[in-house]
Amino acid sequence: MRDYAFAGGTAVVTGAASGIGEALALDLARRGSHLVLVDRDAERLDGVAGRIRADHPSLRVATHVVDLSDDDATAALAGTLVAEHPETTLLVNNAGVALGGRFDQVTLEEFDWVMAINFRAVVRLTHAMVPVLKKHRGAHVVNVSSVFGIFAPAGQAAYSASKFAVRGFSESLRHELAEDGVGVTVVHPGGIRTRIAESARTGSGVSPEEYEVGRKQFAKLLRMPPEQAAAQIVTAIEKRRPRLLIGWSATVPDVLVRLLPGSYWKLIARRAAPAKPPASA
């Protein structure tokens, strides 16, 4: 399959108002892609779109404000994308949310909120857009999973379930679309400095003390600038890479899970546990 051609193509990017999605939109614009940007944050989305229009007046930039946790709204968006953007050559399913708490600390409604955004929206939008993409041989799909789509830590049952689902869906889709000349890349970012920590929810059964400990541990992981992650994703799109691990916090767990598929958590949990104070004399 030849390299993906950005110039003159049209890219749909979800979660485009901040973080990796914003950085991707800016990078794709620099490469000459027309853009269809989706997010639930209207103010931030307008800011990103306005910046791109000012810097690249020859490009078409459309925006759609949608809450992807709403299945009906997502279905309506899918229909709109097909009807209004039949020229689409790149679909980037980037939008995602997090939920902290053990499985018995979250409600089924909270669990479903994560699945709706992180997985069902990916499936709905991709299902609608595949016929469009197949009309443009050389098109491409990017689905953003996570390092938690490689290994599943305690306290992340919902998030890991959604990201493992994205991984499996993407791999099967890649095999199916290969004969149509449409590439598929699944992305596993490690700790990227995005707004996911700000938008994350905590299970209703999690105590304030547990929440604060979890928040601090999560924040320590978020180190890589989103622009750096976006640059790697754009290269992976261009080169049609099937799988992209971003950062040491993704590559190291990937190796660990391969070596210790049934017992990796014992090692990770031991290294992640806070040090105990020394015993008094």
pLDDT confidence of 207, banded at 50, 70, 90?
confident
Q: How many domains does the chain have?
A: 1
Average pLDDT of span 212-226: 66
Identify whether 222 is part of a domain.
yes
Q: Kindly report the average pLDDT of the chain as a whole number.
A: 90
Q: What is the pLDDT of residues 148-178, one digit of tens each?
A: 999 998 899 999 999 999 999 999 999 999 9
Identify whether 4 is part of a domain.
no
Please say if 159 is a catalytic residue.
Answer: yes
CA neighbours closer than 13 Å in the CB half-sphere of residue 242: 13
* Catalytic-labelled residue, pool 4, 159, 211, 264: 159
What is the rounded distance in angstroms from the CA atom of residue 249 to the CA atom of residue 227? 17
Q: What's the domain range around 163?
A: 10-272
What CATH number does the domain containing 196 carry?
3.40.50.720
Q: What is the pLDDT of residues 31-89, one digit of tens each?
A: 999 999 999 999 999 999 999 999 999 999 999 999 999 999 999 999 999 999 999 99
Identify whether 281 is part of a domain.
no
Calculated CA dihedral for residues 127, 61, 115, 214, nearest 10 degrees:
150
Identify whether 1 is part of a domain.
no
State the pTM of this model.
Answer: 0.91
